[in-house]
């Protein structure tokens, strides 16, 4: 079995595997998928596993920007990991994912994330559960009752607004000190903003993308940098309450809309869990944001059989972290555990799960520095 880069000639076979794994794509969606994946072919971000000339499996590495405590960094989003039904159960998925992790590191990404169809495969190559996409169902009438001031100007947007939309996302996530959300590149947003059945509105510091789904409304994204913009966008979505019964939307765990509702008791929230992996410890901690008031240090040993581990002294100050290789005892973690710690999972949880050992004197410092409530608004 050979693992190599895919070419344009392989895309029909990839679509066939996707159909057998996830179900068929509509004709329009298949065309849009081809447009979206084509750039990845020349960037070394789409790998295939071949049995001779026959494609047996594939996996794509998407280019994202991910935010950690309001600071952006490049992130490899792993998508479309598919194995032919007749090739499953032979360890091919593990071999393919090992190649994907090595490729992501070679491309310079220090962190990676994915939405798992199964946990054991991804844990075996260093990923650990870190956060979720929180999809909440809200009564449309409750959103209609949110009263905006009328001062926020909303306009329809299209493919030509991709650059401005990305700029809004960067400003909002930085100001909110967000952890976990991802930003698509401008080219991908241009494709998404061209979908005819979506309703797209842009404000100076926010936007919304939503559509009908049966008798309900489905929000893809709603991001706001101010209370007034949040009120304007949510109330506009709720203005369809004479027809729509519910609105289903991905939100942050502490999204302001949950406090703007007049009535709030029971909520229906479905979580789509995502997993996270640190690929380069020193680069990942230096690219992350931290609370500006935190000044501390810790020694961590990270064991990574696939990419190689090491021991570092992490020094946190002024919202940044410096990593220096050392040879002294400290906290000991697998790369899975360090990835979870990076995403805000407490040291007590990691120790009780048997994922962390060693010197306990650094636990409070690590909890304080890496504290986070990671979430995503997008799935991939």
Full residue range of the structural domain in which residue 290 is found: 280-370
Q: Do 183 and 248 belong together in one domain? A: yes
Where does a domain end: 108, 126, 144? Answer: 126
The three-state secondary structure class of 307 is: coil
Tens digit of each residue's pLDDT, the chain (380 residues): 899 999 999 999 999 999 998 888 887 888 889 988 999 999 999 999 999 999 999 999 999 999 999 999 999 999 999 999 999 999 999 999 999 999 999 999 999 999 999 999 999 999 999 999 999 999 999 999 999 988 999 999 999 999 999 999 999 999 999 999 999 999 999 999 999 999 999 999 999 999 999 999 999 999 999 999 999 999 999 999 999 999 999 999 999 999 999 988 888 899 999 999 999 999 999 999 999 999 999 999 999 999 999 999 999 999 999 999 999 999 999 999 999 999 999 999 999 999 999 999 999 999 999 999 999 999 99
Where does a domain end: 94, 126, 158? Answer: 126
Q: Do 334 and 252 belong together in one domain? A: no
Q: Do 116 and 233 belong together in one domain? A: no
Q: Do 190 and 78 belong together in one domain? A: no
Q: Which two tokens stand for residue 31?
A: 């065309």
Q: Do 104 and 164 belong together in one domain? A: no
Q: Do 256 and 285 belong together in one domain? A: no
> Nearest CA to 93 among 81, 101, 103?
81
| Cα-based angle 137, 214, 218 (whole degrees, multiple of 5) | 40
Residue 379 lies in a domain: no
Residue 376 lies in a domain: no
- Phi and psi at residue 281, in whole multiples of 5°? -60, -50
Q: Do 220 and 163 belong together in one domain? A: yes
Residue 350 lies in a domain: yes
CA–CA separation, 297 and 304 (whole Å)? 22
DSSP 206: E
CA–CA separation, 313 and 126 (whole Å)? 21
Residue 98 lies in a domain: yes
Contacts of 221 (CB under 8 A, 6+ apart): 207, 208, 209, 250, 377, 378
Q: How many domains does the chain have?
A: 3
- How many other C-beta atoms are found inside a 10 Å radius of the C-beta of residue 260? 18
- Look at residue 48 in the predicted model and tell me its pLDDT: 97
- Look at residue 283 in the predicted model and tell me its pLDDT: 98
Residue 53 lies in a domain: yes
Q: Do 218 and 295 belong together in one domain? A: no
Q: Do 292 and 351 belong together in one domain? A: yes
Residue 224 lies in a domain: yes
Q: Do 105 and 33 belong together in one domain? A: yes
- Look at residue 265 in the predicted model and tell me its pLDDT: 84
- Look at residue 31 in the predicted model and tell me its pLDDT: 87
Where does a domain end: 104, 126, 148? Answer: 126
Provide the CATH number for the domain around residue 119: 3.40.630.30
Provide the CATH number for the domain around residue 350: 3.30.1050.10
Residue 325 lies in a domain: yes
Q: Do 180 and 290 belong together in one domain? A: no
- Look at residue 223 in the predicted model and tell me its pLDDT: 97
Q: Do 7 and 28 belong together in one domain? A: yes
Residue 58 lies in a domain: yes
- Look at residue 287 in the predicted model and tell me its pLDDT: 98
């Amino acid at each position: 079995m050979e693992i190599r880069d895919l070419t344009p000639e392989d895309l029909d076979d990839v679509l066939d595997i996707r159909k057998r794994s996830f179900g068929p794509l509509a004709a329009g969606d298949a065309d849009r998928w081809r447009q979206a994946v084509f750039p990845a072919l020349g960037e070394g971000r789409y790998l295939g596993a071949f049995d001779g000339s026959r494609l047996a499996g594939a996996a794509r590495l998407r280019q994202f920007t991910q935010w950690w405590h309001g600071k952006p960094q490049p992130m490899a989003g792993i998508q479309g990991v598919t194995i032919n039904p007749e090739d499953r159960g032979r360890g091919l998925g593990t071999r393919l994912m090992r190649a994907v992790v090595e490729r992501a590191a070679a491309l310079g990404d220090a962190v990676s994330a994915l939405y798992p169809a199964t946990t054991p495969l991804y844990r075996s190559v260093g990923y650990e559960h870190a956060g979720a996409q929180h999809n909440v169902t809200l009564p449309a009438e409750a959103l209609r009752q949110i009263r905006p001031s009328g001062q926020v100007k909303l306009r329809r947007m299209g493919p030509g607004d991709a650059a401005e939309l990305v700029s809004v996302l960067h400003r909002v996530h930085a100001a909110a000190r967000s952890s976990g959300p991802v930003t698509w590149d401008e080219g991908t947003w241009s494709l998404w903003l061209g979908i005819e059945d979506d309703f797209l509105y842009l404000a100076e510091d926010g936007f919304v993308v939503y559509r009908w789904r049966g008798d309900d409304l489905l929000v893809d994204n709603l991001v706001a940098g101010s209370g007034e913009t949040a009120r304007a966008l949510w109330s506009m979505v709720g203005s369809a309450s004479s027809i729509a019964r519910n609105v289903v939307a991905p939100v942050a765990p502490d999204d302001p809309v949950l406090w703007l509702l007049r009535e709030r008791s029971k909520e229906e929230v479905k979580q789509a869990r995502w997993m996270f992996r640190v690929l380069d410890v020193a680069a990942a901690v230096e690219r992350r944001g931290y609370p500006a008031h935190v000044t501390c240090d810790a020694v961590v040993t990270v064991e990574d059989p696939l990419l190689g581990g090491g021991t570092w002294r992490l020094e946190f100050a002024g919202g940044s972290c410096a990593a220096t290789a050392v040879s002294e005892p400290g906290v000991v973690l697998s790369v899975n555990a360090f990835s979870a710690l990076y995403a805000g999972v407490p040291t007590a949880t990691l120790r009780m799960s048997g994922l962390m050992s060693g010197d306990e004197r650094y636990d409070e410092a690590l909890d304080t520095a890496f504290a986070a409530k990671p979430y995503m608004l997008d799935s991939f």
